[in-house]
Amino acid sequence: MSRPRVAIVADYLNQHGGAEWLVAVLHTMFPEAPVFTPILDRESLWPEMADADIRVSWMQHLPALKRHFRKYFLLFPLAVEGFNLSEFDLVLSSSCAFGKGAKARRGAVHVCYCHTPARFVWDYDNYVRRERLGPASRLFLPPMVRIMKRWDLATASRPDVYLANSRAVAARIRKYYRREAAVVGGPVNCARFRPSDRIESYFLVVSRLVPYKRIDLAVDAFNRLGLPLRIVGDGPDRAGLERRAGPNISFLGRASDREVERMLGECQALVFPGLEDFGLTPLEANASGRPVLAFRGGGTLDTVVDGETGILFDAQTPESLRGAIERFRTIRWDPTALRRHAERFDVEAFKERMFPILSEATGVPVEDLKG
């Protein structure tokens, strides 16, 4: 049996995050498959996509797109639905909101890796609260979100198969779309990370500085404890967090991949206070031989083994995080065991889980899919 013709569909490719990394891994699985995306910023692409055949939509030419792409959110469904996928036997979509709406031809198979049903649709109140929208946005956004919700529900049946990155996301897919989803966590690029022989005194945050990441919890907790904390990343919350932070907390801005890899290997622990759908960074810390201090919720319930690969704290409060830090200091952490845990979610392990799922969905043997 011949290898199916494959297309990959992404919500957008203008950031350097986990959803974009998933697209990069899908590209390594099917390097000849074109990648369809409404918008593209080549500077943000993962290096693994340097040779990809990327096809953008008419949205690429909209004004001020790089800075204000979220304001065009009602246009993304039109762009995704406009992709001509008629020549493809297998469509793989990576979706936080729009990709699942891609239209595969009749007889083709559409497999959607859903990072989460659109948060701004299904968790609107919390979304508005954490994004700190102004009065005008609060007035005009609700009717537009209602339009988006109708489209989201109408297109929920388009994928033949849903995959989720965590049990929490699978539960949301079941709740909102009435569809079942197999959980396939990862993929973590463990090859990038190595345990270090030298452990420094600082704790580490690696994150975009936006409200829902709850970096304020880390700042408040470490202000009280006086322990050194390094914060890598940038975003709209940075200025406010810097004003809030004591002298023991340093803001490093954006760092190179090499610098992040080094710091993950040398830190006491990674601090991960937000509620995430999955969260690659805690597993990257484990791959570096270091534990994580993470909020007990969302994807960390699948990726952090409390007391073995990190400490889970129960409430998003500085007091709860401080308690986790105190508990962390009573445990002797084994870098080898931490890395072994991360390797369960490695890129190659992810692929070995994915190919049988795609084989079952398409009826094509695994070896033919691998090519």
- Report DSSP letters for 206-231, one per residue: ES---GGG-HHHHHHHHHHH---EEE
Residue 97: pLDDT over 80: yes
Rounded to an integer, what distance in angstroms lies between the CA atom of residue 100 and that of residue 11?
9
Mean pLDDT of 164-181: 97
3-state secondary structure of 64: coil
pLDDT score recorded for residue 123: 85
CA distance 313 to 329: 14
What are the residue ranges spanned by the domains of the chain?
A: 6-187+346-370, 191-343
Q: Would you state the structure tokens that stand for residue 371, as one six-digit string?
A: 């090519």
According to the model, what pLDDT value does residue 140 have?
Answer: 77
Q: Tell me, what's the pLDDT at 132?
A: 62
Residues 290-312: pLDDT tens digits?
999 999 999 999 999 999 999 99
**pLDDT score recorded for residue 141:** 84
155 with 118: CB under 8 angstroms?
Answer: no
pLDDT tens digits, residue range 242-277? 999 999 999 999 999 999 999 999 999 999 999 999
Domain 191-343 fold is Rossmann fold (3.40.50)
**Mean pLDDT (whole number) for 334-346:** 97
**Distances in whole angstroms, Cα of residue 4 to Cα of each of 102, 175, 349, 352, 361:** 18, 32, 22, 18, 12
Q: Amino acid identity of 94?
A: S
Our CA angle for 90, 93, 96, nearest 5°, is: 165
Is 263 in contact with 231 (CB distance < 8 Å)?
no
Looking at per-residue confidence, does 279 or 198 come out higher? 198
Prediction pTM value: 0.91
Query: What is the amino acid identity at position 16?
Result: H
- In this prediction, residues 159-187 reach a mean pLDDT of 97
Spatial contact of 103 and 81, defined as CB atoms under 8 Å apart: yes
Average pLDDT over residues 273-287: 95
Domains 6-187+346-370 and 191-343 share a fold: yes
- Average pLDDT (34-60) is 96
CA angle, residues 302, 155, 168, in degrees to nearest 5: 15
Which one-letter DSSP state was computed for residue 44?
Answer: G
pLDDT of residue 136: 64
Report the mean per-residue pLDDT for the chain.
94
Which residue did the predictor score with more confidence, 131 or 282? 282
265's enclosing H/E stretch is helix 257-266
- Tell me what pLDDT residue 138 has: 67
- Reported as a pLDDT band with limits 50, 70 and 90, residue 210 is confident
Q: What average pLDDT score do residues 152-171 get?
A: 97
Whole-number percent of the chain with pLDDT over 70: 96
Give pLDDT, residue 139: 73
Mean pLDDT of 322-335: 97
pLDDT per residue as tens digits for the range 219-245: 999 999 999 999 999 998 999 999 999
Give the Cα separation of 198 and 4 in Å (integer): 48
Domain 6-187+346-370 class in CATH: alpha beta
Q: Tokens 């993304």 sit at which residue?
A: 76
Total residue count of the chain as it appears in this document: 371
